[in-house]
Amino acid sequence: MLDRDEDILKAAEDWQKAGRGVALATVVETWGSAPRPAGSSLVINDEGTFLGSVSGGCVEGAVVTEAMDVIESGKPRMLEFGVADETAWNVGLSCGGTIRVFVEKVG
């Protein structure tokens, strides 16, 4: 019930209105001990500035990189991060969980 992502969605709207390319990344599924629950989100603009978190720091760098592509292409993308996922990504969740993150363009 905690009101979350307050400034994140507001920032998404403000940045978009200010003419920036903006993407939103949202945790849509978790397995095992994931650091942030489904619904946690991260907003990224085309300067690489981001707010919020999808994993408490473990995979944000990779999400930001992917988000840049999504801003460019406009096509949403599903990312998956897990502890044994090093072939696909050079990052993972040290806590042993797996998360899926939906990345979409805003606007």
Partner 1 sequence: MKLEILHELNAERAARRPVILVTDTESGEQRLVKAMDFAKDPLRAELDKQLRMGKSASVEAGGKKLFLNVYAPTAKLVIVGAVHISQALAPLARSLGYDVTVVDPRTAFASPERFPDIPLVAEWPDTALPPLNVDAYTAFVAVTHDPKIDDPALLHAFERNCFYIGALGSRKTHAKRGDRLRAQGAKESDIARIHAPIGLAIGAVSPSEIAVAIMAEITAVLRLPPKEKEEAA
Q: Which of 1, 18, 84, 87 binds partner 1 (CB under 8 A)?
A: 1
The nearer residue to partner 1, 14 or 94, going by C-beta atoms, is 14
Q: What are phi and psi of 85, to 5 degrees?
A: -105, 25
Kindly tell me which residue out of 34, 36, 52, 105 binds partner 1, with binding defined by CB under 8 A.
105
Report the C-alpha gap between 51 and 102 in whole angstroms. 16
Which of 57, 61, 75, 94 binds partner 1 (CB under 8 A)? It is 75
Paired sense of beta strands 77-82 and 50-52, if any: unpaired
Cβ-count burial of 18 within 10 angstroms (0-12 exposed, 13-18 middle, 19+ buried)? exposed
107 lines the binding site for partner 1 (CB under 8 A): yes
- Candidate residues 32, 48, 57, 76; the one interacting with partner 1 per rule CB under 8 A: 76
Residue 51 gets the label, from left (phi > 0), alpha (psi -120 to 50) or beta, of beta
Q: How many residues bind partner 1 (CB under 8 A)?
A: 25
Query: Smaller CB distance to partner 1: residue 10 or 47?
Result: 10
